[in-house]
A and B are shown apart, each in its own frame.
Chain A
């Protein structure tokens, strides 16, 4: 009876009662047994609580529906989704696109992509140099790059939207040129054999041939060079990201700008021969809106971790790596942000139109940028000299001391150059073996990883996205077998090493 009265009060069906006078004039009769203040039964006490309860009751009476009679703030994610992709970079949007394309029924899956930075100012995708190469040492990496090159070539067939202008990713097919010194020559030749076996067109050049083809190179210390003849070069990452995003949104993927602050997990303990394992499942993703305290709980069945450099932090929210160090629960996702610099300089007499992406024996790389004599390049620092990852400030001394000497030694014309600009971006660096982490976590059943690409994620994004979508929709990989990249290798300790990291 009391509940009905409260509900009616919340619904506003009852008129406001007159305030009871504490003195108790209007209610003679029973003695007042209470010594405290009587409860004021006016309309406004607990109104807010009642409204919240009413909303909840209304929602329960309309199950599975998104309709809310009070309306919602703009920009909130839907309350229920099938797949929540955390991370709106090229990987996240690639997975979203492939999920929609490979699922034949139109609205079978509700996919939401959550991105915390609407301006993409610190996203690795847009800060990347944009290269694509097949010169890897792992066959799976080569196949992924080949598939991605095919995808980029036929991008208008895949990502073309009706009545929109054709997509132009500004691909420069100039190829990658890797130079190797004496001690690494054998490894390079072995890699080239693996690449040719997978179908990549790569040619080996002796120093004499190199000098003839590119007279501006100083071939001292170069024993052999490998040049990618087809499907290698660089392109514009922002165009690819936007193409994926536009096509995925036209197929019904929801985009949400917000930050995932926590997960709601439900777990159970299962006894295995080694002890007790905690298997958990993510039930809700809590998304906080930008510049606001408002948050939304998204009920989901799968969470895809495409957060790039911040994947480890996201995984810790789900309890991955939070546990005693020598147990399965204690193994963290070994993906860390690593800052890398890119410098743009101008050199009037530098290499011409045929300048490839040249990767020196020392690891320094550069490529032509545009037609005006500009070049951009960088160098991955040694392990001990990793720059601080707190912000994306550029250390110009790094160019002066570390990159320029190598460049000037390799290309004598670069002794006189003028640095025009520079920027820094994060690699989602896999500290274990610098290769992708793709697949589910053994203990958190519905978190899938697609991260850890350590600098070659952009060029593998179409293939990796497709593999993830196939895994979700079909339960197994169909085009390229990526079982090697599963999380289980961190538990067993087997490294899947890639020898050709730039």
Chain B
């Protein structure tokens, strides 16, 4: 019996990573593997603790990847530290006055030429698909001349991380949040601080309900900016004055057609 349980635990381990429900996904029928793990978790304390510890380990590893590069900052300055952080997270970075981007090749190697560019400000950062989160932005907030920031498909960039982008209000001209599953329309509200923003990419945001309405609200909020993405759903009409009357008895705070998970 104990051996069988141990065998089940061993088999369940690779599935620990896949059992969690990701953000922004509709409640689809769970695959068989997830259901077996759920069944075991409900019945055995040890499996529940294993799943809990694996979640905690994931948080620890995420924090480690987003840690503050203080040593590099003290020795090489903010710009080089930011570039180092970006390259360690497999992103690309471009300095002012340079045409080419510093990036990482297939083996994860990058050249250390950027260490020479001590006082040259960074103008473009591409962190698409990286594990950047609120804490990782510690490394980027000191970039006063940043013009372009690409955060598309970052699974851990959420509304809280967007609140830190206000530091770029004097310089940022291009921002991409395409495909970020945790960004909702509430986080988009704090982008009004970015006065110089000229291009905002908001395509494929699964957590934003009523994309057509949000697009109009964002365009009104940022009149000089070109908003890409958030196309209205097929068949939805946008009215002339741009704001739709909420239909029926809607409780305050409820988002029409929202898919936010609710607690029982």
Query: What per-residue 1/0 map shows which CB atoms of A446-485 lie under 8 Å from chain B?
Result: 0000000000000000000000000000000000000000
Contacts of A231 in B (CB 8 A): 163
Residue A344 at the B interface, CB < 8 A?
yes
Contacts of A374 in B (CB 8 A): 246, 252
A173 to B193, CA, bound (A): 12
User: Which A residue's beta carbon lies closest to that of B50?
Assistant: A162
Residue B119 at the A interface, CB < 8 A?
no
Contact status B220-A353, CB under 8 Å: yes
Q: A153-B134, A162-B55 are in contact. Are A348 and B243 (CB under 8 A)?
A: yes
Residue B74 at the A interface, CB < 8 A?
no
Contact status A173-B189, CB under 8 Å: yes
Contact status A372-B243, CB under 8 Å: yes
Residue B187 at the A interface, CB < 8 A?
yes
Residues 25-69 (chain A) with a chain B CB within 8 angstroms: none
Q: How far is the CB of A96 from chain B (nearest CB, A)?
A: 17
A376 to B251, CA, bound (A): 12
Contact status B252-A242, CB under 8 Å: no
A242 to B221, CA, bound (A): 34
Contacts of B221 in A (CB 8 A): 352-354
Q: A230-B163, A353-B220 are in contact. Are A172 and B189 (CB under 8 A)?
A: yes
Q: A168-B260, A374-B246, A421-B252 are in contact. Are A174 and B51 (CB under 8 A)?
A: no
Contact status B213-A371, CB under 8 Å: yes
Q: How far is the CB of B157 from chain A (nearest CB, A)?
A: 13
Contact status A162-B48, CB under 8 Å: yes
Residues 159-198 (chain B) with a chain A CB within 8 angstroms: 159-160, 162-164, 166, 185-190, 192-193
User: Which A residue's beta carbon lies closest to that of B260?
Assistant: A168
Residues 220-253 (chain B) with a chain A CB within 8 angstroms: 220-221, 241, 243-246, 250, 252-253
Report whether over half of chain B's contact residues are helix, strand or loop; otherwise say mixed.
helix
User: Which B residue's beta carbon lies closest to that of A229?
Assistant: B166
Residue B67 at the A interface, CB < 8 A?
no
Q: How far is the CB of A23 from chain B (nearest CB, A)?
A: 70
Contacts of B32 in A (CB 8 A): none
Contacts of B103 in A (CB 8 A): none
Contacts of B55 in A (CB 8 A): 160, 162
Residue A369 at the B interface, CB < 8 A?
yes
Contact status A373-B243, CB under 8 Å: yes
- Other than the given A370-B254, A371-B217, A372-B243, 14 more pairs (CB < 8 A) read A157-B59, A163-B41, A166-B21, A168-B260, A168-B261, A171-B186, A173-B186, A243-B263, A348-B245, A354-B221, A371-B185, A372-B246, A372-B256, A373-B245
Interface of B toward A, CB cutoff 8 Å:
19, 21, 23, 37-38, 41-42, 48, 51-52, 55-56, 59, 134, 159-160, 162-164, 166, 185-190, 192-193, 210, 213-214, 217-218, 220-221, 241, 243-246, 250, 252-256, 260-261, 263-264
* 24 interchain pairs, CB-CB under 8 A: A157-B59, A162-B48, A163-B41, A163-B42, A165-B261, A165-B263, A168-B260, A171-B186, A173-B160, A173-B163, A233-B186, A246-B263, A346-B246, A352-B217, A353-B188, A353-B192, A353-B218, A353-B220, A370-B254, A370-B255, A371-B213, A371-B214, A372-B245, A373-B246
Interface of A toward B, CB cutoff 8 Å:
153, 157, 160, 162-163, 165-168, 170-175, 213, 229-231, 233, 236, 239, 242-243, 246, 344, 346, 348-349, 352-354, 369-374, 376, 420-421
